[in-house]
Amino acid sequence: MLLSRRTFIASSTALLAVPYIARANTPIVVEMLNKHPEDRKLRQIFLPRLAVIGAGESVLFKATDRGHNAASADDMIPDGTEAWKGDLGKDIEVTFTVPGIYGYVCTPHVSTGMVGAIVVRGDGVLDNFEAVRSVSQRGKAKKIFGEIWNEIEALGLAA
């Protein structure tokens, strides 16, 4: 049976969509920036500073501007998970397999508030929330992490 041109094109287009669907688990991108692109008063930031993902998903910390890195914050990751630390000015991709709250920082700019958090959904997502929240912070990081904890509560993720 011969296919009409329209049927052939429709069939071919459907086949091309399969690899895209298979790549639906592409990493979320968190940019490391000197300045917020829309609010120049916000400096030394991760954008977004809070991401919610599923277990097994990845985050690509993109070195959009030079002089930054992404590293897990001390005592701010779930028990049994490995800390990570990217090199300055380099992208780093991290896969999160254990549900929970992960705090992260730019090591040279943590005191200026260049901090963020990843929430990994799944059983036990809030098991380390109070522990992470109680970690002592200095400088602007204390304020920014406080705002992030409020954002997590507003999402209905925290009791």
3: pLDDT confidence band, cut at 50, 70 and 90?
very low
pLDDT at residue 157, as a whole number:
67
pLDDT at residue 155, as a whole number:
86
Q: What percent of the chain has pLDDT over 90?
A: 79
Residue 18 has pLDDT above 70, yes or no: no
Q: Is 21:89 a contact under the CB 8 Å cutoff?
A: no
Q: Is 84:94 a contact under the CB 8 Å cutoff?
A: yes
Q: What is the mean pLDDT of the chain?
A: 86
The residue-averaged pLDDT of 5-19 equals 36
Residue 34 has pLDDT above 60, yes or no: yes
The residue-averaged pLDDT of 117-143 equals 95
Q: Could you count the other beta carbons within 10 Å of the beta carbon of residue 155?
A: 11
The residue-averaged pLDDT of 95-118 equals 97
Q: What is the dihedral of CA 59, 24, 151, 142, to 10 degrees?
A: 0
Q: CA-to-CA distance for 81 and 12, rounded, in angstroms?
A: 44
The residue-averaged pLDDT of 69-73 equals 98
pLDDT at residue 156, as a whole number:
81
Q: CA-to-CA distance for 41 and 55, rounded, in angstroms?
A: 34
pLDDT in tens, 75-97: 999 999 999 999 999 999 999 99
